[in-house]
Structures are given as structure tokens and as C-alpha cells.
Amino acid sequence: MTTVRKNLLTLLCAQPRSVSSLARDLGLRKGDVDDDLQHALRSARAAGHQVIVIPARCRSCGFIFDEEKLSKPSKCPQCRGARLYEAQISIERNEGS
């Protein structure tokens, strides 16, 4: 039996994913994915893998959120718009794995 964190790593190595997409594919709520995702990313970095985060951004004004914000923000702090792209997360495995 595989764990949620191993499933997260597998999905993130295949292609860039958002938190919503990960939750949907794993059959979990977005809030339930957050803790496991943070731990999986720390483990991946510790194993020498490269974690790539394309930060969330506003569709209206182009404001770019901090890379640490992995879940979808509710609204843009600059223009107050609610049309936002979610952050996309992926992992590139090192050559030894």
C-alpha cells in the first residue's frame, strides 16, 4: 500500500500540478493535501531533488504571489480581483534516483 505522500511525489514528478488537481486525483480535500504536500516537498529537497514552483498569479493585473503560497489565494492584494491562476508544483528527480 502506498502512502499519500508517495502518491504526491509520483504525481509531481510526472507533470506540474496544482493543489486542487492533486486533491482531486487523490480523492482528498485541498486542506488535507496541504500538510502532506509540505512534508513531501521537504523530503524531496532533502533527497536532492529539485522542487519547482510556478507561483500563483492574478489573471487581471498579473500580480505574482510568493512561491511559498501553494494553495490558491482568494483574491489579488493589488487589484482585488478573484480570477487567479493556481501555483503549479513539480519535482525533477536527481540523476541518482
Mind listing the pLDDT tens digit of every residue in the chain (97 residues)? 368 888 899 999 999 999 999 999 989 888 888 888 988 899 899 999 999 999 999 999 999 999 888 888 899 999 999 999 999 999 998 765 4
> What is the maximum span of the chain, computed from C-alpha positions, in angstroms?
46
How many Å apart are CA 69 and CA 55, to the nearest integer?
A: 7
Tell me, yes or no, whether 46 lies in a domain.
yes
Number of structural domains the chain divides into: 1
Tell me, yes or no, whether 97 lies in a domain.
no
CATH, residue 46 = 1.10.10
Amino acid residing at 90: S
Report field, pTM of the whole predicted structure over 0.85: no
Domain assignment of residue 56, given as a range = 4-92
Query: What distances in angstroms separate CA 77 from CA 29, 47, 55, 67, 92, one per listed residue?
Result: 25, 35, 15, 15, 31
Tell me, yes or no, whether 41 lies in a domain.
yes
Query: What distances in angstroms separate CA 49 from CA 16, 25, 63, 92, one per listed residue?
Result: 14, 23, 28, 6
